[in-house]
Amino acid sequence: MSDTATTTSAIEDALAAHAAAFSGSMQPKTQDGIPVVRVPRDQVIGFLVAARDDAKLRFRLLLDVTALDHYGQPRDRFDVVYHCYSFESRTRLRVKTSCPERDAVVPSAVPEFPTAGFLEREVFDMFGIRFDGNPDLRRILMPEDYEHFPLRKDFPLEGIEPEKVYRKHGGVMMPRATGAEPINGARSDTP
Partner 1 sequence: MAFEGGEDGFAVTGPLDQLLAWARKNSLWPMPLGLSCCAIEMMSTIGPRFDISRFGAEVARFSPRQSDVMIVAGTLTWKMASVARRIYDQMPNPKYVISMGVCASSGGLYRNYAVVPGVDRLIPVDVYTMGCPPRPDTLLNALLTLQKKIDKGNTHASGNPRPAVVGLGG
Point out which residues bind partner 1 (CB under 8 A). 141-143, 146, 148, 150, 155, 157-162, 165-166, 168-169, 172-174, 176-177, 180-191
Nearer to partner 1, 55 or 174 (CB): 174
What separation in angstroms does the CA of 39 have from each of 56, 110, 111, 147, 179? 20, 18, 19, 31, 59
Instruction: State how far the Cα of 169 lies from the Cα of 165, in Å rounded to an integer.
Output: 7
* CB of 171 vs partner 1, minimal distance in Å: 11
- The total of other beta-carbon atoms located within 10 Å of residue 82's CB is 27
The one-letter amino acid code at 94 reads: R
What lies within 8 Å, CB to CB, of 61 at 6+ separation is 84, 85, 86, 87, 115
Nearest residue (CB) to partner 1, 1 versus 183: 183
Which amino acid is residue 151, in one-letter code? L
CB of 152 to partner 1, least distance (A): 10
Distances from the Cα of 168 to the Cα of 64, 102, 171, angstroms: 35, 31, 7
Output 28 or 171, the one with its CB closest to partner 1: 171
In whole angstroms, the minimum distance from the beta carbon of 65 to partner 1 comes to 20
The least distance separating partner 1 from the CB of residue 131, rounded to whole angstroms, comes to 21
Q: Looking at beta carbons only, is 71 or 87 nearer to partner 1? A: 71
Q: In this structure, what DSSP letter does residue 183 have? A: P
Q: CA 168, CA 170: separation in Å to the nearest integer?
A: 6
Could you tell me the smallest distance in angstroms from the CB atom of residue 124 to partner 1? Answer: 15
Q: What residues form DSSP beta bridges with 86?
A: 91
Nearer to partner 1, 31 or 188 (CB): 188
The least CB distance from residue 176 to partner 1, in Å, is 7
Q: Which is nearer to partner 1, 55 or 177 (CB)?
A: 177
